[in-house]
Structure 1
Amino acid sequence: MQRRIELKPIPPVPEDPLLQANLLSETISGGTNAIAALSNGRLSVSISPWAEVTHLRWPSLSFCDHLRYFTAYKVFGLMDLVSLLNEQAARPYDVRWGEEAPSEDWKLYGRPLEPYPELGSRAGLLIPKADKPVWLNDPVWTSQRHYASEDSAILITNLSGPASLEVTDWVDPEWDLLIRVHRVEGASRFFYHSTFAPSLRPIKGLFISPDPKDAGFAAVYCPADGLIIHFCPRRRRWMPIPEGGWTPERLDGFYPEGGVFLAWGFDSMPSSFQVGADRAGRKFPQSAPLGGRLDAENGLLQGNQAFCGPVDSALSLDLPELRGTVTVFIALGSTATEAANLVRRAREIGIEALARKAEQAWEKVGQRTFIPPAEKDKAILRVAKRSVISLIMGQDESSGAVVASLSRQPPYHFDFPRDSAFFDVGLDVAGFPERVDRHADFLMKVQMKGKIAFGWMWLVNLRWPFYRPEGHFKANYSTDGSPGSMPHPFEIDSTGLTLWNLWRHEAFIPEERKESYRRKAWEVIEKGAEALMDYVDRRAGWLRPAFEDDSSRPSATFHGASSTLTALMAAADAARRWVGEDGKAERWEEAASVLRKSMLKKLEGKVTREILGWRGLHWAFWPAPLLKPGDPHSQPLLEILVREITEKVEGKRRGFSYLAEQLFSLALAPDRTPEHEALIRRGLEFLAYKVATLGTGHFGEIMLKRGELYQNRTAIPHLWNGILFYLTLVALHQPEIFHRQRPPYPPET
């Protein structure tokens, strides 16, 4: 049944325009109901604070989504959409439970509002003397969680309430299999229901419904295996239940063209089952079988074997001793047999061997990860290591792309080249340059081509809509290299930072492979540098307006200038050292010199965020070759940075975003002082102890103050905030690692 939801405006945050703008992400696309995400580079899932699965994606990290679950978001009218052209003036709405929440746990984590609470994938327990199950999304549970070890990707959630439940989750590193172990105390029957909806269609775009109507074709119960198989065949047609019931092999015989098949079941045969209609927001005849969750409301399941249409399925297992362990296996494949065989093999091997395999795989990652040996704070170390693990989970196995978050709401499951530059710095520094090799190959493939293109975002900003795309990069990409969710023609900072990223990674390439890498990367860097030159007005000494960092309006701030300066000097160095193109190097150096001179001139006047842009201050310190030790131009930037960091760390703001990024910039400031180092240390402690998600050590994109702690929102885990925490830790102890990755300074003019 649809819950009536009235969204309330969030009070303006004039002291932090960036926070104000970022609050719009959940307004537009829905709140992230996750406190962790798990992945093997193909299969990814989000886990809520209450051990629910809230997204399930396969076979890539961008698509497709196979679970029907979504949270509330604002449906925008035409005038609302027009207002979004000014992000700082647009009004965000709260899409989460607040003070009025029906439980303290929901209030603590800010459970997102849900139009249809029956959607998702979760357990339910029948308590003795109760007439219906209590589900994990009922507001009766208090939750805690932790990972099995510091290097582990096995998540353990403890829930206390009407009964006691421990849920252990992990994605197998080798197979496309999610393992969910439930240890139950105080219940007579265990239920599990899911609104799985396999799909062959990717969901893209900011204003695209997260609830596609064509997802989920049918599901059947296979009695011999005790499995339910949801599927979306490439050729949609339905066949009645064959004599003797369905088996995975019979399904494949009827659907030889394959598709997406999701098989799920327990580690033993269930006591009962139900395959029925998912009625959440859908109309069905009264004769249609009840969905699994609705059918379980009387404590029993009827045993319907198949349904063609959107499905809510359920299994149950009796617990005569009021306790027991029930493992749920969820597997995916391109055929029914492929998916079912994963569950069959998992049952044979057993959960202990499967857990050992996962632990060993992630222990190797932990052992390789570089951590400054001088750091001793256990909480800081735990969050730093977790951030590297999460980043590795965010790399798509097939393409090498790295997504900004595995989150579906908001849709951050795309590769943002701007973010990727710093992700790759993190992977190189952490000791995984081979992962950057694969990511670099992806980025080199997606560079834009063509001499002319039409950009409607230029037009709505009353500018000439035709532009030269060659050499630039889109705001984001799907993991298959197609354009992602953002409508921008290109982003100048994405282009600039990608060129720098390809240049600086060369230092991490083994000597025997440097020449081949330089040949591939040079072609991309050369085209990108020429594309940036179109936007450097050397006579005016500044940039021509372009799109910067998700902004819907063209601008020319330090944000674009610092990234362009960085790219031109990286390209000039590559031209000289890699290919001996001194003429091109001189031309790019000349433009960089003019740009640097103008940037320094602007720092002599009143310095404001309007001049600096969102990240212009941060990148002016690093990686831009702008400020040298002893340069007085650093002082106004340091004053702004120190003031903003201090206000956030001392809790003087209602919320904030990107604190780790600011700490990282301060750690690489050319005139860093012991006082700065003490503030950086306070910032890391603040993030590790008061801000990171309880028990998992992740971050959202934004954090809102809730008493002494902070509530993370938007795209959890947010990989940018996580890896900037890690990079700050390294930069605090060993800043020289990063100074070597800054391009040369341009010649003085």
Structure 2
Amino acid sequence: MLSPRSAAAFGAVAAALVAAAPAAAGPLADAPVARCLTGNPADVTADPLVVLERNEQFAPTIGSSNINAQTSNGRMAAGVAADGTLTTLRWPSTMSYQQLKHYGPNARAPRAGAAANEGIVLGLVLPGAGTRWLRDFPQQSQRYADEESDEIETTFADPALGLTVTVRQVVGADIDAYVQRVGVRRAPGARTPTALMVFENLSLNNSNVPAIPGTDGCAHEFSRDTARFDGPTGAIVHWLRGRDLSNGEQSDVAMAVGVGGGVDDWQVAADAEEDPLGRLGGWTLDAHRDAANGDLNRGRSYTGQTTGALRAPLTFAGDVASRDVAVAGGRTPAGALTALRTALAQGQPAVAMGKKAALAPVIARAPLPATTDAKELALAKRAIVLLNTSQAPSGAIPAGISVQPPYAEDWPRDGMYFDEALDLMGAHDKVTAHKRFYLRTQRRPGFAAIGSIGVPMGSWPMNLYDTGVVSGPIPYEIDETGLGGWGLWSHYKHTGDRAYLDEAWPGIKLAAEHFVTCRDAVKKLQCRATEDDNLDLGNQQTIAGAMPGWLALKAGAEAAAIVGDTAARDRFAARRDELAVAIDEYLWEEDKGWYAGWDIPAIRKVVTYVGWPEPLKSRDDARMRRHADAIWAAFAPTFRAPEPGGRTAGFYDGLALIALADQWRGDAAKMQRLRDGLHWIAHTQATADTGLLGENWIVRDNKVKTITAIPQLWQHALFYLAAIEVHGTA
């Protein structure tokens, strides 16, 4: 079934983009971006499972980012497809902006339906045969080169040609560059390639739109960057100057792509998919088309929808040749070229070693689950790497780097789980930075984030860009207020840092006050409000809002006791206890044996809040025992997939394992269920090659396939937290 986030919120975004988009006609009618803006809005309301199966996404107007591996450093994030194509490139943070043209309307089509000239693609020039793109080789495989870093290794083989190519890809720890080492090995008697061909479709972005996410990936035809061939470095540099429309601040970006050791041919030209000049000959010919015969027309500059290609000679030592390729970011062309030269001078192996060295202390201090299962350990380590390399310089942490759907935003709900995992990993500095981002963006007297509409005092918008501007279309969600307030307090419990608590207390207090004033006068529950990305705005009153409210009030009372605000302590404690009684009276469903308040399949996600991060009652309470059994009954079909009787689609299954671990501790049979659930996630749900999780999964051809915003950080955080809760620490 659909998660409320994807089904509702981003369906609305798609509809908004359709309504706002100019009519596409002429050359733009077939453009990938035009398809993004003019998709069939009726699909948004189609049967969820039909849409999910057909498109592997909940809204066909949004599409599917083609990502099978991620490498990032907080400022730059690269998403790589299984065929080695670079499909996502975010800079100057993991959250803004997408600097690469790649639109995938259908995950089941070749290249996810993207045009042949999208992304960054590598190929070999063969004598008399032109360019053979590596993604067209018949044998391909991909993995992380090291489970304690994020260097990617993609291997291509063509037995008929006698060629094997290994590409190692990584974003440096201290340099904003995506660097690839291309190693070519020829078998005896193989045709010898003469050169490496690099094609790029960088399409620069420097702006967001308040409350409408995804424009950086969905409006590329409206962006015009300038590209030129830089003779001294043998590189192509793109740049775009201007202001971010969402906040009015200057936002200049530049990207440079080059090959270590220089090039002997180049082309800078138009994009044939979106500019008629790109279909003509000579200096304007689309660089992808131009590269087909192995020679390039040496166009030196273009402004508009740009493409570029570089040819670099290959020199074999015995049967092996190698070249390094890098893409680097900067605020100016000079800055991007400097970063590019630095990356190429270091070389990909050194950049990869530096990344592993930077992550070594991060891995060393983080506890690992006490299991001998290799895949579970690898998935736990992947969570450590992802969470420690995805935080933006502002302190914000995205749900993922995906452009389709647009998930490179910060949800305070997700963020609470991220921070719990990071605090457990010992990354307290990252959590402090994240909490300060929330303190800066919380609605307070005299301040509301840019784009806020109707966000009440003490609350946050649905989600935020890393600039602090509102990104989501839903004004606010009451569960995020509760979880955000509790999370501000929880960080103090992890660290005991009194200076931090004094800094965070105003935010904790504001969130708790919201649940004092947002009160149903009759039922004494929280007032009706929007819960969990639901487009039926302001009309829910379920456990999804009640438990986070109880947590925020509990946090407020406990924090108030430490800072010495006795009036606030008593007020919050009294309302906490009143809300607990109301939860028992109005949200307990005797026939189902759980606390819920809403009869929809997605409720199984939020009923887990009753047991974690803090239980509503003691574990031996009769209702808590029944509630735990009901949670398991709701999630158990997941862990039987893809076998008969199992679920055919699902999401956020780790929430159940976390919620049940403490409740069932000491019951060997029930704890084995949770261990089996962890095994299912690691062995069945995660991608078999790179070990990543998407937000959702479906069954296709009797196999479980993870989908949506791969890798999705909440899913990875949930697995890590659940593995520690269930197995304990090694």
Same fold (TM over 0.5): yes
Match of 1:122 in 2: 121
Q: After the TM superposition, which of the residue ranges 170-179 and 61-70 deviates more from structure 2?
A: 61-70
Aligned residue among 559, 568, 571 for 1:574: 559
Question: Cα–Cα, structure 1 residues 501 and 19, in superposed 2: closer, same or farther, change >3 Å?
Answer: farther
Question: After the TM superposition, which of the residue ranges 493-502 and 613-622 deviates more from structure 2?
Answer: 613-622
What is the SS of the residue equivalent to 1:422? helix
Equivalent residue runs for 1:238-387 within 5 Å? 259-284=252-277, 286=280, 289-319=284-314, 324-372=321-369, 374-387=370-383
User: Quick one: distance in 1 between partners of 2:440 and 2:55?
Assistant: 30
What is the Cα deviation at residue 705 of structure 1?
Answer: 1.8
The equivalent position to 1:215 in structure 2, one of 209, 218, 223, is: 223
Q: CA deviation at 1:568?
A: 0.6
What is residue 195 of structure 1 aligned with on the other side? Answer: 201
Aligned residue in 2 for 1:592: 576
1:679-694 correspondence runs (5 A): 679-694=673-688
AA paired with 2:268?
V
Residues in 2 aligned to 1:410 and 1:536: alpha-carbon distance in whole angstroms: 35
Q: Is the 8 A contact 1:218 1:307 kept in 2?
A: yes
Query: Quick check: 1:123–1:190 contact (8 Å CA) kept in 2?
Result: yes
Which residue is 2:524 aligned to?
541
Q: Deviations over 1:469-512 (max 9, x none)?
A: 2111111111111112x1222111111001111111112225xx
Query: Which blocks of at least 5 consecutive residues in structure 2 are unaligned?
Result: 1-26, 187-192, 244-249
Matches of 1:127 and 1:596, distance apart in 2: 72
Q: Which residue of 1 aligns with 2:22?
A: none
Amino acid aligned to 1:261: A
With over 3 angstroms needed to count, the CA separation of the structure-2 counterparts of 1:276 and 1:450, relative to structure 1, is: same
Unaligned runs of 5+ in 1: 73-94, 236-256, 458-465, 738-749
Within-5 A mapping of 1:33-52: 33-52=66-85
Q: How does 1:662-701 map to 2 (within 5 A)?
A: 662-669=656-663, 673-701=667-695
| Percent identity (aligned) | 27
Q: 2:481 aligns with which of 495, 518, 524?
A: 495
Any conservation in 2 of the 1:277–1:307 contact (CA below 8 Å)?
A: yes
Partner SS for 2:284: coil
Name the SS of the counterpart of 1:366 in structure 2. Answer: helix
Task: Decide whether aligned partners of structure 1 residues 347 and 119 sit closer, same or farther in structure 2, where only a CA change above 3 A counts.
Answer: closer
Contact 2:654–2:722 under 8 Å retained in 1: yes
Q: Provide the C-alpha distance between the structure 2 equivalents of 1:259 and 1:439, rounded to a whole number of angstroms.
A: 25
**Alignment partners' CA distance in 2, 1:709 and 1:526:** 48
Taking a change above 3 Å as real, the CA distance of residues 725 and 433 of structure 1, as seen in their structure-2 partners, is same
- One-letter code of the match for 1:654? T
**Correspondence for 2:21:** none
Task: Give the whole-Å Cα distance in 2 for the aligned partners of 1:258 and 1:472.
Answer: 28
Cα deviation, residue 385, structure 1: 0.8
Structure 1 residues 13, 376: CA separation in 2 closer, same or farther (over 3 Å shift)? farther
Secondary structure at the aligned position of 2:71 is classed as: strand
Query: How far does residue 43 in structure 1 lie from its aligned partner after superposition?
Result: 1.1
Q: Return the offset for 1:551.
A: 0.7
Note the C-alpha offset of 1:164.
2.5
Alpha carbons 1:663, 1:680 under 8 Å: kept: yes
Partner SS for 1:502: helix
Task: Provide the secondary structure at the position in 1 that maps to 2:622.
Answer: coil
Q: Which residue pairs with 1:174 in the alignment?
A: 174
User: Which one of 460, 468, 487 corresponds to residue 473 of structure 1?
Assistant: 460
Equivalent-residue separation in structure 2 for 1:21 and 1:600 (angstroms)? 42
User: Separation in 1 of the partners of 2:457 and 2:325?
Assistant: 49
- Provide the C-alpha distance between the structure 2 equivalents of 1:146 and 1:541, rounded to a whole number of angstroms: 53
Is the partner of 2:60 in helix, strand or coil? helix
Question: Hey, what's the Cα distance between the residues in 2 that align with 1:496 and 1:284?
Answer: 54
Q: Deviations over 1:379-400 (max 9, x none)?
A: 111100101111112211x211
Query: 1:174 and 1:382 mapped to 2: Cα distance?
Result: 24
**Following the alignment from structure 2 to structure 1, what is the Cα–Cα distance between the partners of residues 150 and 707?**
22
Q: 2:325 aligns to what SS in structure 1?
A: strand
Does the CA contact (< 8 Å) of 2:172 and 2:179 recur in 1?
yes
Matched residue, 1:242: none
Distance 1:508 1:50 in 2: 42
5 Å matches for 1:432-511? 432-450=427-445, 469-484=456-471, 486-510=472-496
Q: Return the offset for 1:648.
A: 1.1
CA distance in 1, matches of 2:233, 2:451: 54
**Rounded Cα–Cα distance in structure 2 between residues aligned with 1:207 and 1:719:** 18
- 1:359-392 Cα offsets, whole Å, 9 max, x none, are 21122221121114x3221111110010111111
Query: Which of 610, 627, 630 lines up with 1:637 in the alignment?
Result: 627
Indicate conservation of the 8 Å contact 2:685/2:697, yes or no: yes
8 Å contact from structure 1 (residues 660, 728) kept in 2: yes
Mapped to 1, the partners of 2:56 and 2:144 lie a distance apart of 29
Question: Residues 61 and 406 of structure 1 are in contact (CA less than 8 Å); yes or no, is this contact kept in structure 2?
Answer: yes
> 1:388-423 CA deviation, whole Å, 9 max, x = no partner?
111112211x21111110111111101100000010
Contact 2:443 2:449 in 1 (8 A): no
Aligned CA distance change for structure 1 residues 332 and 467 (closer, same or farther; 3 Å): closer
What residue identity is the alignment partner of 2:132? V
Q: Distance in 1 between matches of 2:149 and 2:335?
A: 27
Give runs of aligned pairs for residues 707-726 of structure 1, distance below 5 A: 707=701, 709-726=703-720
Checking the alignment, whether the CA contact within 8 Å between 1:450 and 1:468 is kept in structure 2 is no
Structure 2 CA distance for aligned equivalents of residues 503 and 433 of structure 1? 13
Residue-by-residue CA offset, 1:27-69 (whole Å, 9 max, x unaligned): 3421020011111111111111111111111112221221111
SS of residue matched to 2:237: strand
Change in CA separation of 1:592 and 1:169 when aligned onto 2, cut-off 3 Å: same
- Assess, with a 3 A threshold, how the Cα gap between structure 1 residues 517 and 538 changes in structure 2: closer, same or farther: farther
Going from structure 1 to structure 2, the CA distance change for 1:527 and 1:329 (only over 3 Å counts) comes to: same
Match of 1:563 in 2: 548
C-alpha distance in 1 between matches for 2:652 and 2:56 = 13
Secondary structure in structure 2 of the residue aligned to 1:681 = helix
Whether the aligned pair in 2 keeps the contact of 1:502 and 1:521 (CA below 8 Å) is yes
**8 Å contact from structure 1 (residues 690, 708) kept in 2:** no
TM-score (norm 2): 0.84
Matched-pair contact (CA < 8 Å) for 2:70–2:78:
yes
Distance 1:472 1:662, change over 3 A: same
- Opposite residue 478 of structure 2, the aligned amino acid is I
Partner of 2:107: 96
Task: Find the residue that maps to 1:633 and give its secondary structure.
Answer: helix
Paired residues, what number? 663
| Distance in 1 of aligned mates of 2:675 and 2:149 | 26
The CA deviation at 1:673 is 2.3
1:164 partner SS = strand
The secondary structure found in structure 2 opposite 1:314 is strand
The SS at the match of 2:688 is: coil
Deviation of 1:154 (Å): 0.9
8 Å Cα contact 1:22/1:702 also seen in 2: no
Aligned residue type for 1:281:
E
Does the Cα contact within 8 Å between 2:422 and 2:430 map onto a contact in 1?
yes
CA contact 2:140–2:157 (8 Å) conserved in 1: yes
TM-align CA RMSD: 3.2
CA distance in 2, matches of 1:199, 1:394: 20
Change (3 A) 1:452 1:437: closer
Structure 1's 195 and 410: CA in aligned 2 closer, same or farther, altered over 3 A? Answer: same
Deviates more, 1:687-696 or 1:663-672: 663-672
